[in-house]
Structures are given as structure tokens and as C-alpha cells.
Amino acid sequence: MNSEDILRKVQDGRMSVEEALKHFGKQPFEEMNYAKPDIHREVRTGFAEVIFCQGKPDEYIVSIFKKLLEAEGEVFGTRATQHQYELVKEEIPGIEYDPVSRILKSERKGKDRIGNIAVCTAGTADIPVAEEAACTAEYFGSNVDRIFDVGVTGIHRLISRMDHLQDANCIIAVAGMEGALASVIGGMVSVPVIAVPTSVGYGASFNGLSALLTMVNSCANGIATVNIDNGYGAGYIATQINRLACGKR
């Protein structure tokens, strides 16, 4: 629950001043010894803490999910496995898991979404990273338009969706192989483009390094590049841009 939610509840009489003071008086994190969930992150940044699930021991991950869900009323995790989902759902029966994006979340129902972010992929193999970006942006309150399999080997497919690209406040371009998609889009639109290199490709793609170098060396303007396979980072930044475009911080 963020500060605005608390103040509105006090204003509407759904929470007492004493209850609100207890919340504001808490330390800005929960001490769990092996983890310190940052329960005030949304107050500072506008975005609640997200759990990076990959590599977390079984005995820790369930407790961290429960702690953040208790504090925030919702919880979002990236890079989760099916095994982790099975563990967490025993304690949080309503938890949702998407095996494509590997997102594990419990989300408030009926949230409003604003603006528009276009998430594009060069190929179908890039969709898992793109879905991580799209699901992140949606969780944080953005509308998302998915435009998949529009890579440069059939550029007419991309051109056929130009009206959707031009309507977006921000575009995420996800591509492996040589990573040319971001440069092509960057030269055709007036909004920021976030380039996401993926590890898709044959040997000389070096697990995404080739696409990364193409994207950071792009001659098109208005392109910023995140790390290889970092769909979450792209979705987060795109949401910041989308919020500003909609006049919301």
C-alpha cells in the first residue's frame, strides 16, 4: 500500500489516523535476516519492489513472497520456475504463473491502466523476453500493444503496423541475431525506443552480445539499450516514460 492509498483511506474514513501513523512509523524495510524487503520503495520511486526469483533457495522464496504480499497487497516476481510456482502457490493459492514470461504474481484486480507502450519482437523466439517486458509494464499500470514477429527479414510486416507504433508513447524493440530491429524502428518514429538484445541466435551471436553491440552502436536517434534478455528493465523504463507522457509520476 503506497502513501497515496493510505491518505485516501484516512480521507474516506476507511482508516484511522492512528493506523496510518503506525504504517508511516515502520522502518522502511522488513528484516528477515536472509532478505530485507523494501516496503517503502513505492513511496520513494513509484514502483514497489520486485522479486528476482532465479537462484533463490526454496526455503526463502515463499517467505519473501508472503512478506511483500502482506505489505503491498500484491507481489510480482521475475525469472520464476515451475518448481517455485508450485512452492509459492501452496501458501498463496491465488498466485498466477506464466511459463512464457516466467512471471509469478498476485495482482490487485481492477487496476487502471494508462497510455500505450508498443512491445515488438524481431522473431517468435524473442517472445519470452518481450512478454517479461509487457507483463512488467502492465503490472505497473501501462496499456501494452504486442507486435510480434516483425523482424527485418520481412520488413513489410513491421510497416503494416506503423499506425500502432506511431500511437505509442514508448516502444520496446526486442531482437536477437544481429539486433537490427531497434535501429529500423528508431528511424521511423518520434518516441523513445528501448532496445532489448536477446540471447537468441547461432554461434557468432555470442549469446546476445552481437545484438547488444548492434543496438548500442545504432546510428538511429532516440534509442536506449538495456542488458541482454532484460525484459523487466525495459518494461520498467517504458512505464516511467509512459507515465510522464500521460502527465503522471
Would you say 161 and 147 are in contact if contact means Cβ atoms under 8 Å apart?
yes
226 and 170 in a common domain: yes
Angstrom distance (rounded) from CA 136 to CA 10: 30
58 and 81 inside one domain: yes
Check residue 46 and give its pLDDT.
81
Residue closest to 225 by CA, chosen among 235, 216, 238, 217: 216
Q: Are residues 90 and 191 in the same domain?
A: no
Q: Among residues 89, 106, 123, which one ends one of the domains? A: 106
What is the greatest pairwise CA distance in the chain? 62
Q: Are residues 179 and 80 in the same domain?
A: no
What would the pLDDT profile of 170-191 be if each residue is shown by its tens digit? Answer: 999 999 999 999 999 999 999 9
Which set of grid coordinates corresponds to residue 70?
502482506
Whether residue 127 is found in the same domain as residue 231: yes
pLDDT digits (tens, 9 = 90+) for 96-131: 999 999 999 998 888 889 999 999 999 999 999 999
Beta bridge partners of 225: 195
Which residues have a Cβ under 8 Å from the Cβ of 23 and sit 6 or more positions away? 1, 6
Confidence band, pLDDT 50/70/90 cuts, at residue 6: confident
**Co-location of 144 and 225 in the same domain:** yes
pLDDT for 211-232, tens place per residue? Answer: 999 999 999 999 999 999 999 9
Give every CB contact of residue 63 below 8 A, 6+ residues apart in sequence. 32, 35
Mean pLDDT of 41-67: 87
| Whether residue 24 is found in the same domain as residue 81 | yes
Higher pLDDT, 44 or 63: 63
Domain end call among 106, 133, 157: 106
Q: Which of 34-38, 53-57, 94-98, 225-229 has the lowest mean pLDDT?
A: 34-38
Report the number of distinct structural domains present in the chain: 2
Per-residue confidence (pLDDT) for residue 29, from 0 to 100: 63
Q: Is-contact 195 179, C-beta < 8 A?
A: yes
- CA-CA distance, 150 to 141, in Å (whole number)? 25
Residue in this structure with the C-alpha cell 513489410, named with its chain if needed: 156
> Which pLDDT does position 97 carry in this prediction?
96
pLDDT for residue 201 is more than 80: yes
100 is written with which cell numbers? 512464457
Residues 138 and 236 in one domain: yes
CATH of the domain at 121: 3.40.50.1970
Q: Are residues 94 and 122 in the same domain?
A: no
pLDDT surpassing 80 at residue 1 = no
The mean pLDDT of the chain is 90
Are residues 229 and 126 part of one domain? yes
Residue 149 banded pLDDT, cuts 50, 70, 90: very high
- Compute φ and ψ for 189, nearest 5 degrees: -130, 165
- 203 alpha-carbon distance from chain centroid: 29
Q: At what angle do helices 3-12 and 17-25 cross, to 10 degrees?
A: 170
Domain boundary at 67, 89, 106, which?
106
Residue-number span of the structural domain to which 203 is assigned: 114-245
- Please name which of 39, 58, 48, 104 lies closest in space to residue 78, comparing C-alpha atoms: 104
Residues 138 and 226 in one domain: yes
Do residues 120 and 172 both lie within one domain? yes
CB 82 within 8 Å of CB 136: no
